[in-house]
């Protein structure tokens, strides 16, 4: 399909081909789905929210509920305030959520709708809440929209007068429900009292019960979001998705924050586990020590297949940073590292990681696209692709193994259930990478070299 991609690379500033991201409202919608009994609301046209819901549904294989202001030509010219007022009334009357989380789209941002003023004019039923975030589609990425929506919840709900408690707020970053379950398991083992915000586990991986429930049991309760203002500290896992919301909470409620890397691999998981154990005032549990040892054992066993293999890594910035750190621990060489999310902070973060290892030349770029990545690979191939489903066409065109990780994985099942974070997630990732490389070796070797025992 991409066989005709040219090898000659030309700099493009006004065009992205096969982008390595999607738009802010997708992230905002996903963040809102991590709040219990919350209805995400797209302030724009029906076509916009249809795309955002479809994108999430294809990854999670679960319905992503959301409503829309349903802009027509009139709203596009005269403003969407009347549409939003009618929508809020209908949503509370028909769907009865506890809270509506409104995010903007490129259309409502372009015409200049003032969401805060619109919401102030709306008659909200007693006990119900409407929050909002500005998420223009033409700025940032879905990771930016996720961060903006979390900040919107905190600005509206986190209570600086909340009773002080010994809980730690944990912002997990833009991760799958399976990752959140693993993070909560680790926190439980360390004994750290915590609030996970947001929490899509139990929502975007709800069990099949033969009965449709619009608001599953999962999601962060509103009382817990209010209680964030009384937490002892915040652990923000991933600077790109969580640093801004943590800063907003610190400024509003004086809750100190520590921004940690997404706990992918040994070192980053060590940092998270240590912070959790220290917060709980306990030693690291033996169960987690054993899991760490098993991950290290697997890394050593399969090292001959990892060592010095070149890798192209692409996807969301926090996820990519975690994957790069892990493949460096495995003894592999990152050759190309790209994200679609703009910002030189990504380049600095990856460069700092690379400086810890002597791995040779590596091209790092933010606000990149997969067409450019493909061009680089055509000039200098790699041994492995590591990233989302959108790399499969490059993998097919260049005959390179692909290991799927991150968001979105659209063409396989079960990825959102299984973690890549923590020591258990590291074991899973290491196994997937080793399997892909060894499958390629078996495919390409002579018959007399096809081994049954490795």
Residues 203 and 151 grouped into a single domain: no
Give residue 4's pLDDT.
78
- In 3D, which of 393, 407, 251 has the Cα closest to residue 318? 407
Residues 102 and 192 grouped into a single domain: no
Residue 280 lies in a domain: yes
The DSSP secondary structure of 112-146, one letter per residue, reads: T--HHHHHHTS-PPTT-EEEEE---TTSS-HHHHH
Residues 338 and 266 grouped into a single domain: no
End-of-domain residue from the set 285, 301, 330? 285
- Inter-CA distances, 314 with 340, 366, 454, Å: 8, 10, 30
Residues 416 and 440 grouped into a single domain: yes
Give residue 5's pLDDT.
85
Residues 294 and 408 grouped into a single domain: yes
End-of-domain residue from the set 267, 285, 303? 285
Joined together, the tokens standing for residue 418 give 């299984």
Give residue 453's pLDDT.
82
Give the side-chain half-sphere CA count within 13 A for 147: 23
Residue 41 lies in a domain: yes
Mean pLDDT by 10 residues, the chain (454 residues): 80 85 96 98 93 96 94 77 92 97 91 88 93 94 97 96 93 97 98 98 93 92 96 96 96 96 98 97 97 98 96 98 97 97 94 88 95 96 98 96 97 96 98 97 92 82
Residues 98 and 224 grouped into a single domain: no
Residues 335 and 306 grouped into a single domain: yes
Residue 138 burial (CB < 10 Å; 0-12/13-18/19+)?
A: exposed
Residue 19 lies in a domain: no
Joined together, the tokens standing for residue 141 give 């990425």
Give residue 79's pLDDT.
75
Query: 138 phi and psi, to 5 degrees?
Result: -90, 10
Segment holding 384, helix H or strand E: strand 384-387
List the CATH number of the domain containing 87: 3.40.50.1980
Residue 13 lies in a domain: no
Give residue 358's pLDDT.
79
Whether the CA torsion 380, 384, 390, 396 is positive or negative: it is positive
Residues 271 and 309 grouped into a single domain: no
Residues 139 and 249 grouped into a single domain: no
Residues 60 and 209 grouped into a single domain: no
Domain enclosing residue 442, as ranges: 289-449
Give residue 22's pLDDT.
94
Residues 31 and 142 grouped into a single domain: yes
Give residue 80's pLDDT.
76
Give residue 1's pLDDT.
61
Residue 162 lies in a domain: no
Rg (CA), the chain: 22
Residues 298 and 432 grouped into a single domain: yes
- Provide the whole-model pTM: 0.95
End-of-domain residue from the set 226, 258, 285? 285
């Amino acid at each position: 399909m991409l066989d005709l991609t040219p090898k000659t690379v030309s700099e493009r500033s006004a065009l992205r081909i096969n982008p390595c991201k999607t738009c802010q409202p997708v992230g905002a919608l996903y963040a809102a789905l991590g709040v219990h009994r919350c209805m995400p609301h797209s302030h724009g046209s029906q076509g916009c929210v249809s795309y955002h819901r479809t994108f999430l549904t294809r990854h999670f294989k679960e319905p992503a509920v959301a409503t829309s202001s349903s802009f027509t030509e009139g709203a596009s010219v005269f403003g969407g305030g009347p549409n939003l007022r009618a929508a809020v009334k209908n949503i509370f009357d028909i769907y009865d959520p506890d809270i509506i989380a409104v995010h903007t789209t490129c259309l409502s941002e372009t015409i200049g709708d003032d969401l805060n003023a619109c919401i102030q004019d709306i008659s909200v039923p007693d006990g119900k809440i409407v929050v909002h975030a500005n998420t223009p589609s033409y700025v940032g990425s879905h990771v930016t929209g996720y961060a903006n929506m979390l900040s919107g919840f905190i600005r509206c709900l986190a209570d600086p007068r909340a009773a002080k408690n010994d809980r730690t707020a944990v912002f997990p970053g833009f991760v799958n429900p399976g990752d959140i379950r693993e993070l909560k398991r680790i926190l439980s083992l360390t004994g750290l009292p915590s609030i996970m915000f947001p929490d899509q586990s139990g929502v975007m991986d709800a069990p099949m019960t033969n009965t449709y429930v619009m608001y599953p049991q999962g999601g962060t309760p509103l009382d817990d979001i209010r209680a964030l203002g009384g937490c002892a500290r915040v652990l923000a896992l991933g600077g790109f998705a969580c640093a801004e919301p943590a800063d907003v909470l610190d400024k509003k409620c004086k809750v100190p924050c520590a921004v940690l890397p997404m706990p992918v691999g040994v070192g980053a998981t060590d940092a998270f586990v240590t912070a959790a154990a220290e917060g709980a005032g306990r030693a690291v549990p033996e169960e987690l020590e054993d899991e760490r040892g098993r991950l290290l054992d697997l890394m050593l066993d399969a090292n001959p297949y990892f060592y010095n293999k070149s890798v192209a890594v692409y996807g969301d910035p926090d996820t990519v940073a975690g994957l790069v750190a892990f493949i460096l621990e495995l003894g592999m060489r990152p050759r190309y590292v790209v994200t679609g999310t703009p910002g030189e902070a990504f380049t600095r973060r990856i460069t700092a990681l690379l400086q810890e290892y002597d791995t040779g030349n590596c091209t790092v770029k933010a606000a990149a696209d997969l067409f450019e990545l493909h061009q680089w690979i055509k000039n200098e191939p790699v041994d492995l692709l590591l990233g989302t489903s959108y790399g499969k066409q490059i993998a097919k065109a260049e005959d390179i193994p692909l290991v799927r990780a991150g968001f979105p994985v659209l063409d396989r099942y079960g990825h959102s259930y299984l973690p890549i974070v923590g020591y258990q997630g590291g074991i899973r990732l290491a196994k997937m990478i080793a399997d892909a490389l060894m499958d390629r070796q078996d495919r390409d070797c002579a018959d007399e070299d096809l081994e049954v025992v490795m």
